[in-house]
Chains A and B, each alone.
Chain A
Amino acid sequence: MRAFTYERVRTPQEAAQAVARTPGARFIAGGTNLLDLMKLGIERPTHLVDVNRLGLDTIEATAEGGLRIGAMVRNADLAAHARVRRDYAVLTRALVAGASAQLRNKATTGGNLLQRSRCPYFYDTSKPCNKRQPGSGCAAIGGFSRNLAILGVSDKCISQHPSDMAVAMRLLDAKVETMMPDGTTRAIAIANFHTLPGETPHIENVLKAGEFITAVSLPKPLGGKHFYRKVRDRASYAFATVSVAMVKGPGVQRFAFGGIGTKPWRVEAAERLSGADAIAEAVLAGAQSTQQNRFKLALTRRTLAAVLTEA
């Protein structure tokens, strides 16, 4: 691992300022993704700003009847929270479908949204990757692409977004609350938070330099029955090949998808349709598959059909 200096800060604004003023600085929260990538030389921060002790670890009811989840709330605590289990079960289901218990005890709500690619070529420093080294090319296109994205891809990158949690957040229309180095704040709709790879796959979200995630807020509950169905290569502790989040009940039908998009995927227009074939056709419009991941088209439709049968 490359050398870095370490700093612990006391307030969110101090955190934002510390990262903004230090070239090469990064926030570290749970660290489960960042340290992994630092050991491989893929992430090379010169300075780490530890944001674990800022007190952003509570879940509170909002005046609008929703929930405000502190950015440092661990994935395990978010999944187990009584109101999340009762009112946002799709989020609990998505969280417990991801990673291992040890990782969920450490990984944070804010950090999960920022986790980086799991594409094998992002990890393989002997191969070109536009995410890791902008302009170097994409070894995944024409390479081992079986588990990579079919939606939102570009000729520069076909990496799928790895998060389960973010798929549920997308379905729930969460908002990402942030603080700038000057202390101003903003709330970013989750739909606009992650960016498509386009010509710049190394840019993965709309955060500005030093901008720090303080919380993720959920609007009031949707009601309905909640599902998260994840298809993967083993029964546990693996990234999604295809996942389907669904909330369905009187007056509500929403879907979001993981494993197939370069960001958490949701097509609102498809939610007015009925039947797996029609919905899948609308969701998968514009899909671009490789020979190896073409099966995800049929698998998405079938997984959706299976979830609809459960409802």
Chain B
Amino acid sequence: MPYDDEALSPCVTRRALLAGGAVGVATVSTPVLAFEAESKATAPSPPTVDVSLSVNGHRHQLRLDPRVTLLDALREHLALTGTKKGCDHGQCGACTVIVEGRRINSCLTLAVMHDGEAVTTIEGLGTPDKLHPMQAAFVKHDGFQCGYCTPGQICSSVAMLGEIEKGIPSHVTPDLDHVVFSDAEVRERMSGNICRCAAYPNIVAAIREVHGGAE
């Protein structure tokens, strides 16, 4: 059975350097904490699991260590490095992707838990030649400085507008049955995406424009 992650040369190169295979990748993606050091040398790898993911419309068959998070599967196995690893603990939102239509932190879920599911990453929203409207608006409004949080911000904001559209209430919604777009709603709903450069006013402006609100 061919595994198409094997065919991706950037991964193979890195993996070869790291003594190969899923174990090598897991080592890269796992912070080596002091108390783990002794067990690392002897602990055998668990049996691998077969995972099928549809990412940005393309189907992939992967054979993974069950420890591999969805984030690491995307970055280290599928070479989709647009999705960023920030805190790796669900606090910063840099890893936000859209799974089965919903935004989630890809760092806090295992790839194997999403077997058979559809994932949209920043690479699937637009291309350099044909930007997604949210990508174009972030460029136009300077919705970033360093850009590290941007893929997560954009995936999050695209899904967030869908949540407002569906009438899903937030902490700042005065009437739970009437969800209305506002800057306050955007700020609250985007609180799971941290921007260390504090581009927040411009991010809100970009989202406002895509929503179709007044400048």
| Interface of A toward B, CB cutoff 8 Å | 1-6, 28, 30-32, 35-36, 39-41, 48, 50, 52, 76, 79-80, 85-86, 89, 92-93, 96-97, 99-103, 105-106, 125, 235-237
Contacts and interface: CB of A to CB of B under 8 A. Distances in A.
A81 to B, nearest CB: 10
Given A32-B90, A36-B89, A101-B160, A79 B169 contact: yes
A18 B47 CA distance: 17
B113 A50 contact: yes
B192 A100 contact: yes
Contacts of B67: 1, 3-4
Given A2-B43, A3-B45, A89-B176, A31 B192 contact: no
Contacts of B31: 39
A236 B108 contact: no
B121 interface: no
Interface of B: 26, 30-31, 33, 35-36, 39, 43-47, 49, 65-67, 69, 88-90, 93, 96, 102-105, 108-110, 112-113, 156, 160, 163, 166-171, 173, 176-177, 187-189, 191-193
16 contacts: A3-B44, A4-B66, A5-B46, A30-B109, A31-B113, A35-B69, A52-B113, A92-B176, A96-B171, A100-B192, A101-B189, A102-B103, A102-B105, A102-B192, A105-B102, A236-B171
Given A30-B109, A40-B33, A103-B108, 5 more contacts: A6-B110, A39-B89, A100-B193, A102-B93, A102-B104
Given A41-B36, A79-B168, A85-B177, A102 B96 contact: yes
Nearest to B192: A100
Nearest to A104: B192
Contacts, number: 120
Contact of A3 (B43, B112, B188, B192): B43
B162 to A, nearest CB: 11
Contact of B93 (A86, A96, A100, A106): A100
A106 B109 contact: yes
B106 to A, nearest CB: 9
A115 to B, nearest CB: 12
Given A31-B108, A39-B88, A89-B176, A96 B170 contact: yes
The 7 closest A-B pairs by CB, nearest first: A100-B192, A236-B191, A6-B66, A237-B191, A3-B46, A80-B168, A85-B176
B107 to A, nearest CB: 8
Given A79-B168, A106-B109, A101 B30 contact: no
A172 to B, nearest CB: 16
A6 B170 contact: no
Given A4-B66, A102-B104, A236-B188, A28 B39 contact: no
A263 B169 CA distance: 27
A236 B173 CA distance: 13
Contacts of B49: 6
B168 A76 contact: yes
Contacts of A5: 46-47, 66
A237 B39 CA distance: 35
